A and B are shown apart, each in its own frame.
Chain A
Amino acid sequence: MRKVYSIGLVNTIRFLRERSNIFFVFLLPLLIILLLGAMYGTGFDSKVGVHVADAGGPLADSLVAAVEDLQEMSVTRYDDAGSMSDAVQRGTVDGGFTIPAGYDADLAAGEVVEVVFSGRVTDQTSMLLAEAVRGAVASEAEPIRAARFVEHQGLASFEEALPIAAGLADDESGRITVVYREAGDSPFEEFEGLGNFDFGSSQELVLFMFLTSLAGSASLIQTRRLGVARRMLSTPTSTRVILGGETLGRYSIALVQGVYIMVGTLVLFRVDWGDPVGAVAIVAVFALVGAAGAMLMGALFSNDQQAGSLGVLLGLGLAALGGAMAPIELFPESMKNLAKLTPHAWAIDGFAELTRRNGNITDILPHLGVLAAFAAAFMLLGAWRLRRVLTR
C-alpha cells in the first residue's frame, strides 16, 4: 500500500511541476465559467436595436419607450444606421427598427409614416421580434389615429384631440385585452430561478475533471516509454501496484480539481451546489471514473501525441454528448438515449438532483452506483491491457 502511495505522490508531483497543467487544471475552468456567466447571465431576452434618424421628438420618444416596455426585451440604441444594420446581420441584436427623420412633424401633418423593421430573413427570433414591434407600433398608433378621426369629423384639431385620445387609450378600464398563459410541461421549468453561474458550473466541473484526467494519460505513457514501469516491475512490485499508484496520482489531481472548482465557484460566484455531502460524493466518484479512464487510455496508446489528441476529442466529445455543453433536455430523442452511455450525463443529473430538486445523498445513490460501475469497467479493462503491454 505504501508503494501505491509513493507512486501516486511522484506522479502528482510530476504533473504539478508542469506549469501549463496548472493553467488547464485551475485557471481555465474558472475563466470559462466566468465567460459563460457573463454571456448568458443576463438571460435570454430578445435584443432589439433602435435608431432614430434625426433628433426625434415627443412622439418618437414615446414609440421608443413603448418598445422598451415590451416584456423580455433588451433595447440597444444606435446612432447610425450602418452600425445597426451590421449588428442585425451579425446577430448582436435580433432585429433593428428605424424611426424616420421628421417622424413627429409628419404625424402631426396627418401623413402616413413608415417605421422600418429590419430582421434577418428565415430567422425565427427576428420574425418573433417583428411581431412584438408591430404590436408596440399599433398601440402607439391608437391615440394618433383617434385624434385624426376626430379632426376628420371636423370637431377639433389634431393637437386638441390628441391628449383626449391618449387619455382614453391609457385608461385601462373598459378595454379589450389579451390574456396570455402557458400550459403543458416544460423541460425548462427546473431551470427557472437559477443564478447566473449555477447552470454552467456543474457541467464545466465534470467536463474539466474528465478532460484533465484523460490529458494525464500521457504520464502513464511516459512512465512506460521512459522504462520507469519496467524498472519498477523488476523490483518486487506487481502490475496491480503500479496501476494502483498511477491511478491514485490521476485520482488525487481530479479530486483536487473538482473540489477546487466547487469551492472556487461557491466563493467567487456564489454557485449553489446543494447538499454538500452529496456534491462531494459525486466529485469523489466521478474523479475515480476520470482516473480509471485515463489508465485505460494510457494502456491503449503508446504515443503521447496520439493519447493527447484523442484525449481532447474524447474529453470534449463525451462531455458534449453527456450534456456538459448544452442541456440534454434540448437534444433530439435519439441523442438523449445515447447521452446515458456517458458518465458525464449521470454526474450532471446527480448535481441537478441535488440543486434543482433539492435532493440529498440518498436520492443520488443510483447516480453514484452507475458512476462507480463506469470506473470499475474502465479500471478492469485498463488493468487487463496494461498487464499485457508491461509484461510483453
Chain B
Amino acid sequence: MSERLIDLHVLRYNPETDTEPHWQQYAVPYNEEWVVLDALNYVKAHLDPTLAYRWSCHMAVCGSCGMMVNGEPTLSCKSFIRDLPGTIRVEALAHFPIERDLVTVVEDFMAKLARVKPYLIAKEPRTVEQGEYRQTPAQLERYHQYSQCINCMLCYAACPEYGLIPKFIGPAAIALAHRYNQDSRDGGREARQQEVATDEGVWECTFVGACSEVCPKHVDPAAALQQVKIASTLDWFREHSMPWLSK
C-alpha cells in the first residue's frame, strides 16, 4: 500500500551559512487531521532537525506560528492540510526580516505595540480597597472585539502599507490603542492620539482592509483604524472650527 505524501516546500535561510533564502522540499505523510504545523513538526522530528520555526500552543491563541502558507499570512496551527493543494509552500511572514528559516525579527512590532501606550490610563483612579469599576455588558461590548488580538502579526504581513512604509504603526497596534480608548474605565485617549493620529498612524492607512481579512480572531483592525480616523477628524474640527468646545 503506497502512503499518500504531501510535497512541503519550505523557504530556508540560515544567516551563518546562506547568502540568500532558498527552497527546500520535504515529503511528508498525509494525515487529514493535520495542520501545517503538524507537518513541520514531522519534518523537525523525523527528517531535518535543523529546521527553525516558532510554535507553542497548537490552539490558535499564543500567536507564535504565523507564517506564509501558499502566499497567505496564516496561523500554521489552524491551517489544515486537507484544505490545501498537494503542494504546500511555507515561508516566513512577509514584511519582516528573516532571522532564520521561518523565524522573523519582530522587534519593530514589539516597539510599536509599546508606543501606543496599550494599558489602562485610569479616568478616575481607584484603590483596590474601593473595589472594581462598574462596567456594564454594553460598555464591555464597545471594546471587547479589539481586546481579542493575539499579536500574531498576520495583519502586518497582509498590509500593503506596512510593506511599503515600515514606519507605519500598523493594524494591530492601532487596534490595541483603540481597545483602550473605547474602554469606559480609561482616560488616556489624548496621550495615545499623539502616537496614533499621525501620519505614521492612522493617516498612513489607505483602507485596503487586508488586515481584517487575515485576522484569525476577527478583531477587525480595519474598523478600528476607521474609527480612530473619524475620532481624530472630530478632534480637529473641535479645535479649529469650534474652539469654544475644547477644554
A binds B: no
